[in-house]
Amino acid sequence: MSDQKIKLIAFDMDGTLTSEHSSWEYLHRRMEIWHEKAHVFQDLFWAGKIDYAEFCRLDASLWQGTDCLRAAEILTEIQLRPRAGKVLRTLHRSGVKIALLSSGLKLLADQLAQILPFHHHLANELVCRDGSFTGEVLIHVSTDVRGLRKEDHLQNLMDKYNIRPEEAAAVGDSLGDLEMLRATPNALLIGAKDEDKHKIMRELPKIILLQELEDIFRHLPFRV
């Protein structure tokens, strides 16, 4: 870990700030379409048979005609990690720029942005028209398109605020966060599934494992 004071910290959303590992999957399950088709698309993506854009397109197509407000209401059921609000408000008061960079659902990210002090939040957007989803998706955060990946967005923020990598930090929970975590020497992992945790630790042996979000303050230097 760097001794430089941290000026910017980027958080993943699903499984990092929240209790659910995937807001996409949560909505599918609550609408009882996960076992019908949605899990098949996920399996195809992880097997490398479709790219991320196709994965999102197929997933979003399952919600065509669904009431947007009903989906937003369902997503309010997703809980934050314990003391997440307190941690982020403390970071904000210390002058740290806070970003949420997620390939999860913008519907949920927008809700969190109403109660958490993000300076920036980006996630993927289900297109809503006349109160219903069109089945289209706008990808703002991709896993495989250069310029739209989490690490690209983090680099853009470091450039914008003239922040060096050692003055930034990243917090994630899965292999999908690996390259964002690699973008700074201050990488932290929380709530990862065992398989993901072992793979990430092989790639980033100095990564810090958090039991609780508030452990951030024991591992990173902040201005006081």
Which CATH number characterizes residue 47's domain? 3.40.50.1000
Q: Kindly report which listed range (28-37, 74-83, 156-165, 168-177) carries the lowest average pLDDT score.
A: 28-37
Residue 34 pLDDT: 73
Predicted structure pTM score = 0.94
Percentage of the chain exceeding pLDDT 70: 97
User: What integer is the mean pLDDT of 33-46?
Assistant: 78
Closest residue by Cα to residue 207 from 176, 168, 170: 170
Residue 93 pLDDT: 94
Look at residue 208 and tell me if it is in a domain.
Answer: yes
List the beta bridge partners of residue 188: 171, 208
Q: How many domains does the chain have?
A: 1
Helix, strand, coil % (nearest 5) of the chain? 45, 20, 35
Look at residue 3 and tell me if it is in a domain.
Answer: no
What is the domain extent for residue 107? 8-219
Looking at per-residue pLDDT, the higher value among 67 and 36 belongs to 67
Mean pLDDT of the chain: 93
Torsion-angle region of 135 (φ positive above 0: left; ψ -120 to 50: alpha; else: beta) = left
114-150 in b/e form (b: 16+ CB < 10 A) is eebebebbbbbbbebeeebbbbbbebbbbbeeeebbb
